Structure 1
């Protein structure tokens, strides 16, 4: 995980979806998205004309082997990178029309991030890690403490508020990371292999938590995973291969 990703995870601030929107309106719209690296004969085409939408309040899983384009796609949707071609709209905002400051504002105002390596600040407690995005927004301390407590309870860690990351298991650390991503009420959470460092049982519990968050908080989640056993927990699965969408299917959540 890069320092930029860690800073993004800690500083992602978000705003609720506009009043009056419906579940049928897309949170994410991707159209003919392309991303290439390098030039000439050494050009690598990571994404080759991808198009899809993600509805509000939907848990969508990106499936595919390493090198299929999942992380590249998430970085583009999250505004961490810019495409070679095509377009992305988040909650009605076209990313292509934004400069770097605009993309930073988008990440802080509408998107929460969860990374495979957790990205917690080691010297801070679980509660303090969750509170970082709210501190950056200068949220009143009483409100910040109340929301931190509520979020730790939501992820099942109310009794671990004063423990530091090194005193928590991998699954508990990822739960803290999810609570932090929710700190400023995001419309969209982007999760890149959030179970990649966890055993299968713990990984399933994290995916179940993400599904519960979608249901209880009305958040849209776009998650990349290579684990086929977790696909049944998603509302929809989009499979990538060699930078292309090869299959989309609705899943019956277990």
Structure 2
């Protein structure tokens, strides 16, 4: 199956064969419900994402973007097909393997931010490092570095309710980077933000992908994010269009 493959002006698309891909999706199909209520969320979807590449997945609401991201990140399983991330076949992993994948390889950014209200910005960013039992001095150094990276050094002790939507999403991005993932998955990360703040967050995502050497798959409807991506995959009615 061919894909809608648009290289953003002025950007070099990362080249690579299947053997070099960070993400390999092959023949993935996912159906929900049965009978008249059957929803074909994904239909025989195949594509690769090269290491260091930032790919935007675009499509109308209900087209299958979130389902596709959930497959790549191991949050859902396909009815047919395979997904490999950094050489690991995600579709065959058990609960322990999936937990390890999310702890060591994949991080997520959602449009709802998902911060813990009682914790400060610094404490929220440090959660993944606490789960990995990172020594306190190393954890504090990493948290400070990431808050500086996302421009929130002066807001480290503030709680989510004291931050704007854009600032909360910056904290969420810093938290996603805390465990040094190799793959970043973002589902409509600017969906709850105003246009100006959204542009700033998208530019920040592009910057951290490059500075941290990440691979990223971002579901979006925003043309600015499409322009910032290395490639755009268009999905409609569960199919990746060519």
Q: What TM-score comes out, normalization by structure 2 length?
A: 0.91
Aligned residues: 226
Structure with more relative contact order (C-alpha pairs < 8 Å, separation 6 or more): 2
- After superposition, the C-alpha distances for 1:30-64 in whole angstroms (9 at most, x for unaligned) are 01110001123322110001111111111110000
Q: How does 1:212-251 map to 2 (within 5 A)?
A: 212-247=207-242
Q: Which of 83, 103, 110 pairs up with 2:98?
A: 103
Within 2, Cα distance between the matches of 1:99 and 1:181?
23
Within 1, Cα distance between the matches of 2:103 and 2:141?
21
Please state whether the residue corresponding to 1:67 is helix, strand or coil. coil
Q: How does 1:7-22 map to 2 (within 5 A)?
A: none
Within 1, Cα distance between the matches of 2:154 and 2:117?
18
Please state whether the residue corresponding to 1:52 is helix, strand or coil. strand
Gaps of 5+ in 1: 1-21, 248-254
Q: Which of 118, 129, 132 pairs up with 2:127?
A: 132
* 1:52 counterpart residue number: 47
List, as ranges, runs of 4+ consecutive aligned residues in structure 1 with deviation greater than 4 Å: none
Please state whether the residue corresponding to 1:83 is helix, strand or coil. coil
By how many angstroms is 1:101 displaced? 2.0
Q: Which of 21, 24, 28 pairs up with 2:23?
A: 28
By how many angstroms is 1:184 displaced? 0.7
Within 2, Cα distance between the matches of 1:74 and 1:114?
11
1:160 paired with 2:155, answer yes
By how many angstroms is 1:23 displaced? 7.2
Whether contact under 8 Å (1:23, 1:57) holds in the other structure is no
Whether contact under 8 Å (1:59, 1:223) holds in the other structure is yes
Q: What TM-score comes out, normalization by structure 1 length?
A: 0.87
Gaps of 5+ in 2: 1-13
Q: Which of 189, 211, 220 pairs up with 2:206?
A: 211
